[in-house]
Structure 1
């Protein structure tokens, strides 16, 4: 009696042509899909063939192993990877070294630019301070020159409205007769007029207003009497022509009075008494108290006393005050930022970076 042979499961048994070695199964993971499809196609074609002999299957296995070995020989070795890593490290070191040099140069240039900008800003701030002080000095000097100009005109009177037909030879006699008439004296009475002439501008057309007549009297008292009586008369005529007797003032004073006309109109409308002062100012009496407007800084309290805070006097401010320079924006002082030693990342010392003596110790 012989031994019973083990029963074989036809489903679990694979055809000999489809048997793969362990190396083939391992390499199959790295094959491209196209190669896998071709292998699958070859396998399917082999399955379609009738089972060969054991010798044929062994030959095919040998051929497959030889193909696998030839494929493995074409793959990069460990030394190739080490050479590639060394080349990459060398290239990165060179690039990083160049970047560090450029960053260091930019850092030094930026620091120099910041220091220069800071010095320029400090110089500019000092210049702005000097400019403001000079502006105040110029404003004060302008007031003094204006006052000196008006003091030089203290004995001058300005006659407005006298026709241009009255020429220079008879001009003194005509004006003197007008002044004597205002004072109630004889026309031939000598008032000691030192100088008299028309305003220094070209003569206009006959249809235009005549030029003003400026006359200088030797006596300041006599000049004040004529001016006071003319104000009391309110209307002074020469023939059929109405004329005006005014105090001669500097151009700067006249321009300021013109720009302050909205203020004087408001004071007249509210029946507030006011007078002009020298050096230039305007004084108003409100509820028994005198308020004075001299500089732009006095506008707010003066208008507040007059209860006219909404009155706009910006044009007068622009005329008497120099424009203020634009101040610099506040800027934080520049500080050079450096990384603290405690936060610097320490480089790990690998065997390649160790000193020669440490390497010998490590290898020993």
Structure 2
């Protein structure tokens, strides 16, 4: 029970007066302060008066008794509060441990989810391994004329390519509405039947400074998943430095950037790893702002709870 809600039956002044009356009398000064003007009872006779020493002793004893009572009640309330605090701490400790377990499980699930995403991305890219995109093919080339157009293009790039190896499973425009005459033409998506044929054509495109056919400047790209394209864009600062220093690199599966320098191969998967590699190869300085990771690439860790049971 709270000490604030407890009703006090008498004031300390009345308690002292009662203690004096119980002792056999009260001093005249106390009697005059306690009475309200009634002269019906006279307790001022010498035999009823107490000496100052007796009054001090009685008052001291009464105050000590009252203090002991108050201290006892305070101790009881403090003990009750301590018990309730222990219960709250125990419950909070259970919740904190449960939260830490949950955080660990969430971190594990995120790692597994990231692994599954990489595997799914790798599967999608493997499914696209025989595909290429060609940009700037004029819209005037109809779907019926497209196979002959592509055959002529590839034979120009690789004159020794046999028609048997140049087997296309399909070739079509990107699936979007036909653009206006003043807009770029839709891309051509091609799937080769033979992977080696596609690799030879892409190698020829990389080695050629430019590809022109029937009056059009064409560009050839490997068909990739959108997630892979985004990862490549995130590494654009790294590949830019490599090109400026004429250092060869290539893309690997699953996603990685493979850099060859001084007869050694290095692989990176994230912008942070790429920047670290450039520093180790002495291609950039630590203070170079042009190669810093973008804010979207910088990750912040979640705060760790500081709760600890006392």
TM norm structure 1: 0.60
1:195-234 maps to which residues of 2 (within 5 A)?
195-234=170-209
1:166-315 maps to which residues of 2 (within 5 A)?
166-184=141-159, 191-295=166-270, 298-299=273-274, 302-307=277-282, 308=284, 310=286, 312=291, 314-315=293-294
Distance across 2 between alignment mates of 1:92 and 1:204:
95
- Pairs aligned (count): 260
Question: Which whole-Å deviations, capped at 9, do the CAs of 1:223-251 have from their partners, x for residues lacking one?
Answer: 22322333333322243321112211111
Shift of 1:298: 4.2
Shift of 1:156: 0.6
Match in the other structure for 2:118: 143
1:72-83 maps to which residues of 2 (within 5 A)?
78=52, 81=56
> Does the 8 A contact of 1:198 with 1:213 survive in 2?
yes
Shift of 1:196: 2.2
Q: 1:296 to 1:106 in 2, by over 3 A?
A: farther
Distance across 1 between alignment mates of 2:295 and 2:55:
89
Distance across 2 between alignment mates of 1:148 and 1:317:
26
Q: Which has the larger radius of gyration?
A: 1
Gaps in structure 2 of 5+ consecutive residues: 1-43
Q: Secondary structure at the match of 1:194?
A: strand
Distance across 1 between alignment mates of 2:295 and 2:227:
11
Shift of 1:212: 1.9
**Would you tell me which structure has more helix in proportion to its own residues?**
1
Match in the other structure for 1:125: 100
Q: 1:169 to 1:318 in 2, by over 3 A?
A: same
Question: Which whole-Å deviations, capped at 9, do the CAs of 1:259-295 have from their partners, x for residues lacking one?
Answer: 1111111111112222221111122222222222135
Q: Secondary structure at the match of 2:186?
A: coil
> Does the 8 A contact of 2:165 with 2:197 survive in 1?
no
Shift of 1:107: 0.8
Distance across 2 between alignment mates of 1:273 and 1:316:
28
Question: Which whole-Å deviations, capped at 9, do the CAs of 1:309-329 have from their partners, x for residues lacking one?
Answer: 53645349938xx76433334
Match in the other structure for 2:304: 327
Q: Secondary structure at the match of 1:314?
A: coil
> Does the 8 A contact of 1:227 with 1:245 survive in 2?
yes
Distance across 2 between alignment mates of 1:148 and 1:215:
19
Distance across 2 between alignment mates of 1:240 and 1:96:
103
Aligned CA-pair RMSD: 3.6
Question: Which whole-Å deviations, capped at 9, do the CAs of 1:308-364 have from their partners, x for residues lacking one?
Answer: 353645349938xx76433334x6551xxxxxxxxxxxxxxxxxxxxxxxxxxxxxx
Match in the other structure for 2:297: 318
TM norm structure 2: 0.69
